[in-house]
Amino acid sequence: MEQVLIIIGASIFGVLGSVHLIYTFFTNKFDAYDSAVTVAMKATSPVLTRETTVWRAWVGFNASHSLGAMLVAAIYVPLAISHFDVIQHSGWFSTLPVVIGLTYLALAKKYWFKIPFFGILMSTVCFVGAFVLINT
């Protein structure tokens, strides 16, 4: 059961990250409703550097955020399928998805909206359940 929970939890992360990446590069879903804001973001640099614009940084942050979620799936799905014993016998590999899930969950609660929050919540519940089953 714990193996299935890890696979489901990681797969949810992979789906959320993939959809987010598609939305970032192939839709206008992350554009501002007020087009003047998008125009201003494209014309303004952050205080940190003039080597980019706020818009390019925004796209890059969204893309790297997507890749992070996809990386959880890319590591944990094959690991759980082919080498589940590594997760079972490693405090690190059984704890890390719980930490990642809780961190993303806190971010989703504070900064995002209900769809990613509930997806991450389901994933985190799977990770916590797997952790409990592995460590008891």
- pLDDT tens by residue, the chain, 136 residues: 999 999 999 999 999 999 999 999 999 999 999 999 999 999 999 999 999 999 999 999 999 999 999 999 999 999 999 999 999 999 999 999 999 999 999 999 999 889 999 999 999 999 999 999 999 8
The pTM for the full model equals 0.89
The tokens for 100 are: 């990642």
Q: For the chain, give every domain's residue range.
A: 2-134
C-alpha 124: how far from chain center: 11
Which amino acid is it at 111? Y
| Integer Rg of the chain from CA | 18
The tokens for 18 are: 């993939």
Specify whether the CB–CB gap between 62 and 29 falls below 8 A. Answer: no
* 102: Cβ contacts below 8 Å, ≥ 6 apart: 124
Phi, psi of 45 (to 5 degrees): -100, 150
Report helix, strand or coil for 113.
Answer: coil
C-alpha 13: how far from chain center: 6
